Amino acid sequence: MRRGVLLGLMPVLLVLLSARADEEPFQGFTRQTSATERDWETKFRALPSAEKQREYMQRLTARPHHVGSPYDKDNAEWILAKFKEWGWDAHIETFQVLFPTPKERVLEMVEPTRFTAKLQEPPVSVDPTSNQQNEQLPSYNAYSIDGDATAPLVFVNYGLPKDYEELERLGVSVKGAIVIAKYGNSWRGIKPKVAAEHGAVGCLIYSDPQDDGYFVDNVYPQGPMRPTDGVQRGSVMDFPSSSPGDPLTPGIGATADAKRLAVKDAPSLTKIPVLPISYGDAQPLLAALSGPMAPRDWRGSLAIPYHVGPGAAKVHLKVAFNWDIKPVYDIIAKIPGSEQPDAWVIRGNHHDAWVNGAEDPTSAQVTMLEEARAFGELVKQGWKPKRTIIYCAWDGEEPMLLGSTEWAEEHDKELQQHAVVYINSDGNTRGYLSMNGSQTLERFVNGVAHEIQDPETKLPVSQRLRLREIERAKSADDRQEIRQRADLRVQALGSGSDYTAFIDHLGIATLDLSFDGEANSGIYHSIYDDFYWFTHFADTDFVYGRALSQTMGAVVMRLADADLLPFEFTDFADTIRMYTKELKKLAGDERDAILERNKEVDEGLFTAVNDPRHPQVAPPKEDVPPYLNFAPLDNADDALALSAQRYDAALKAAWAAGPLSAATLQDLNQKLTESEHRLTTPEGLPRRPWYKHMIYAPGVYSGYDAKTIPGVREAIEQKHWDEANSEIVRVAKVLDNERALIDSAAQELEAAKH
Ligand SMILES: [Zn+2]
């Protein structure tokens, strides 16, 4: 048995060893420039300090620091001073954004009994910052509209479209009701959006202990999970259907004199009032529901029978907000490039938090600061990056990516011209390297991951990740792919952090990296996400913080120093083919499901199995979808794969023949920088033109989760069959433009003079 396991691992180890061979030059470097780069990277790797990260975290999380708070500004000035101390050319760029804070929050049950919700997270005696109540933002959902409603209550599971289909089968309508949804399984803003679409007049969102409470682990302060009265704050701005950033200045920078919409005209505010609550406050409300039992997989871990409602339970929800304009402070710091100052490698992480925010975002803000300190040190020692490095500590990420989106919108033209890559993080803990972003950088980031040592096992982080993925794989086919494919897959980006404007709106190649997967956490967006919690339950000795600094630093250095930018297209073409296969399966499954259900209706199945004591409504028959025409996409995929191979072969041959001329390199780098932008269209996605990228977007009905080839995928999911066909044609055209660019780069390499 043991022997078999070892034999099974052999191909993996061989791949890893051959890829690690030290004499192999880094991708995009000659033998000589690679050796120099390796020396500088080795010097860099020794610099980030776990102890300093702990110090920075203690300082940055000492007080609540949400947008508009005194300590948010104080932190911004402290971060600015640090960058300057380390020799960076740094300044603060300020934007003026709409940031609502609670004026009034009332939640009470008025029938059949009276109960008033606490809506208050109590301090914990061992935790020294949990009692800063004067500075803590109360628990609320930002960009909920003001509202006052008294209505029957209905439990809607996670509040997703398919949950409402089940409610319909149970004969339950939410029209005129207040819904209560569980946190999780989608981005939170989807819940009030779908509730409003079904006629609800208010929305409560609670944290069920099954998802991040005692079902998972001990609760705080005995363990890392959410206690009875812990509440998840968070934004419910409808950014997937419109755009993130300041709701009053969509598409433009929210400078002091920008032209603003009136608050009532802002398209991204919710349509109904929303309030997040703890399971302590939710339990009496849920216990008062009657009506049908909730389907088995809707039920959580509270010791109550979960009914759907409605029934006698009637609740009163009232929320009112201060609709203020507040400043956000982005710290922008530069090291100018020595050879190509007009090519920018950009790295960012936000500094604002909902409350004290140790895990989110300070755990990765401190890794970014240690990268910055180390780069300052290297510059003193004589390191001169070829390209300009720009570090950004964003403000206002939590309300909805305010600081990064406004900066990207304000500087859109320069960024599209000069930005090579945007590299993001937003929190870090213990575990495995999580690699997300543009698959044109998949080979590159795999290369970096070979070089970084896991602090616990001392394995290269890429090797540890590969073995973890084999452990987690669902099928023998998946395991085989993970063992045999040279590169681990980089996952597509949806949204939920500051990379959104860069990739989705501007079409700049993007990476988002962190370590996670080994530490339970149930304090997200609560007052308990603080220094005490982090240093007891997360990356307590900051060794994964150091590993993330080492990883990010290598990514930034190598992109800033490469002779030829390390973009690569065979992994990208392989990924596009995989997405196309998924889309075909989705369309087929959708068609089969409708055919089957129609047949069951005709057979009288739903009438026959209906239990008159627990009646259910038969689903309606639906039009059978037409077959879609995937041929344009298939043809584009094939052509793209051929061009990708051609570029790869031309690059290897040209590189083997000796260094390329400066003029050729400059030209190729220009084309490679443009490659992500080629995946966008000026018109953007159907009904949401701010989203220009045709391969990646957040889901209109999932939020943070990525929808790949979103125009086609969402048309299928939403049964817009004509649109699916026309989007296939648009995506094929974009891929063909990309192919043309790759071909022209390959041609240039084939003709290159050395
Ligand atoms: Zn964050």
Residue by residue, what is the 3-state secondary structure of 432-484?
EEEEEECHHHHHHHHHHHHHCECCCCCCEHHHHHHHHHHHHCCCHHHHHHHHH
Q: What are phi and psi of 231, to 5 degrees?
A: -125, 140
- The pLDDT value recorded for residue 30 is 94
Q: Is the pTM here over 0.75, yes or no?
A: yes
How far away, in angstroms, is 226 Cα from ligand 1 center? 18
Rounded CA-CA distance 342/417 in Å is: 9
Is the predicted pLDDT of residue 17 greater than 50, yes or no?
no
Nearest of 405, 395, 310, 325 to residue 361 by alpha carbon: 395
Helical H segments across 188-309, by residue range: 190-197, 209-212, 279-287
For CA atoms 693, 699, 700, 703, the dihedral sign is negative
Please report which helix (H) or strand (E) contains residue 102, including its range: strand 89-111
Contact assessment for residue 647 and residue 668, using Cβ atoms and an 8 Å cutoff: no
Residue 620, both tokens: 């309606």
How far away, in angstroms, is 360 Cα from ligand 1 center? 5
- The pLDDT value recorded for residue 471 is 97
Contact assessment for residue 706 and residue 580, using Cβ atoms and an 8 Å cutoff: no
- 310 preceded by cis ω (within 30°)? yes
Q: Exposure pattern of 475-513 as b/e (b: 16+ CB <10 Å)?
A: eeeebeebbeeebbbbbbbbbbbbbbbbbbbbbbbbbbb
Q: What HEC string does 142-182 produce?
A: ECCCCEEEEEEEEECCCCCHHHHHHHHHCCCCCCCCEEEEE
- The pLDDT value recorded for residue 702 is 86
What's the Rg (C-alpha) of the chain?
Answer: 26
pLDDT digits (tens, 9 = 90+) for 471-500: 999 999 999 999 999 999 999 999 999 999
- The pLDDT value recorded for residue 22 is 55
Rounded CA-CA distance 133/450 in Å is: 46
Q: How confident is the model at residue 3 (pLDDT cuts 50, 70, 90)?
A: very low
How far away, in angstroms, is 541 Cα from ligand 1 center? 21
Is the predicted pLDDT of residue 4 greater than 60, yes or no?
no
54-65 average pLDDT score: 98
How far away, in angstroms, is 428 Cα from ligand 1 center? 10
**Beta bridge pairs of residue 317:** 107, 149
How far away, in angstroms, is 203 Cα from ligand 1 center? 24
Provide DSSP, 648-676.
HHHHHHHHHT-PPPHHHHHHHHHHHHHTT
Is the predicted pLDDT of residue 9 greater than 90, yes or no?
no
How far away, in angstroms, is 529 Cα from ligand 1 center? 12
Is the predicted pLDDT of residue 7 greater than 70, yes or no?
no
- The pLDDT value recorded for residue 704 is 82
Rounded CA-CA distance 358/529 in Å is: 6
- The pLDDT value recorded for residue 12 is 44
Rounded CA-CA distance 541/138 in Å is: 31
How far away, in angstroms, is 427 Cα from ligand 1 center? 6
How far away, in angstroms, is 515 Cα from ligand 1 center? 14
Is the predicted pLDDT of residue 314 greater than 90, yes or no?
yes
Rounded CA-CA distance 423/347 in Å is: 5
Contact assessment for residue 528 and residue 127, using Cβ atoms and an 8 Å cutoff: yes
- The pLDDT value recorded for residue 20 is 45
Is the predicted pLDDT of residue 11 greater than 50, yes or no?
no
Q: How many CB atoms neighbour CB 412 within 10 A?
A: 16
Angle at which helices 570-603 and 631-656 cross, to 10°:
160
Q: How confident is the model at residue 76 (pLDDT cuts 50, 70, 90)?
A: very high
How far away, in angstroms, is 496 Cα from ligand 1 center? 8
How far away, in angstroms, is 324 Cα from ligand 1 center? 22
How far away, in angstroms, is 45 Cα from ligand 1 center? 25
Tokens 């995929």 correspond to: 637
How far away, in angstroms, is 77 Cα from ligand 1 center? 19
pLDDT digits (tens, 9 = 90+) for 411-459: 999 999 999 999 999 999 999 999 999 999 999 999 999 999 999 999 9
How far away, in angstroms, is 397 Cα from ligand 1 center? 7
The widest CA-to-CA distance across the chain, in whole angstroms, is: 84
Is the predicted pLDDT of residue 189 greater than 80, yes or no?
yes
173-186 average pLDDT score: 97
The percentage of residues in the chain with a pLDDT greater than 90, rounded to a whole number, is 95
How far away, in angstroms, is 189 Cα from ligand 1 center? 16
Residue 702, both tokens: 């999932």
- The pLDDT value recorded for residue 566 is 98
Instruction: For the chain, give the mean pLDDT.
Output: 95
Non-local (6+) Cβ contacts of 607 within 8 A are 618
Is the predicted pLDDT of residue 590 greater than 60, yes or no?
yes
Strand-pair category, 419-424 with 510-517:
parallel
How far away, in angstroms, is 237 Cα from ligand 1 center? 16
Contact assessment for residue 721 and residue 625, using Cβ atoms and an 8 Å cutoff: yes
pLDDT digits (tens, 9 = 90+) for 493-512: 999 999 999 999 999 999 99
99-103 average pLDDT score: 98
How far away, in angstroms, is 119 Cα from ligand 1 center? 23
How far away, in angstroms, is 575 Cα from ligand 1 center? 28
How far away, in angstroms, is 587 Cα from ligand 1 center? 35
Nearest of 20, 89, 86 to residue 48 by alpha carbon: 86
Roughly how many angstroms between the first and final C-alpha of the chain, as a whole number?
54
642-659 average pLDDT score: 95
729-737 average pLDDT score: 98
Tokens 């159907």 correspond to: 686
Non-local (6+) Cβ contacts of 658 within 8 A are 754
How far away, in angstroms, is 694 Cα from ligand 1 center? 26
How far away, in angstroms, is 426 Cα from ligand 1 center? 5
Is the predicted pLDDT of residue 6 greater than 60, yes or no?
no
Contact assessment for residue 354 and residue 398, using Cβ atoms and an 8 Å cutoff: yes
Distance from the Cα of residue 119 to its chain's centroid: 28
pLDDT digits (tens, 9 = 90+) for 322-346: 999 999 999 999 999 999 999 999 9
How far away, in angstroms, is 485 Cα from ligand 1 center? 32
Rounded CA-CA distance 439/121 in Å is: 42
Non-local (6+) Cβ contacts of 747 within 8 A are 650
